[in-house]
Structure 1
């Protein structure tokens, strides 16, 4: 044999099957992580929209409706128009 590893067809086939299974498992994990990231992003956007709706509803209720492209942060000063 002179130090050369010999593999029969069955062991090579088994190795390929194992590698294929590992690739499928890794691909599945990546897809799942991507879906979780998208779900988290949708949840964040939904929370932001809900906050804007609540803010708008409060503004309508108090008669101080004002639209701004940039959300006003605490400490910012808005000019009533």
Structure 2
């Protein structure tokens, strides 16, 4: 609703509170968009990149092992490969 995605630096926290350097975002919803950031199924923070390496932005979990480029249960799951895990 503001015509751009938060930067990597602003991160997913921009869904909770308007970043100070985003004062020109006139359409930012008062009180944010969500109350708190959810954790991934393993209790870890989701990762966010904008611009992304796979698309305009990347939102992903590092999997059960919490490490990049894992395999099996440790595989990275992101907005670019969700269908592979359904």
Q: Give TM class, smaller chain.
A: under 0.3
Higher relative contact order (CA 8 A, sep 6+): 2
Higher strand share: 2
Choose 1 or 2 for highest CA Rg.
1
TM-score by length of 1: 0.20
Larger helix percent: 1
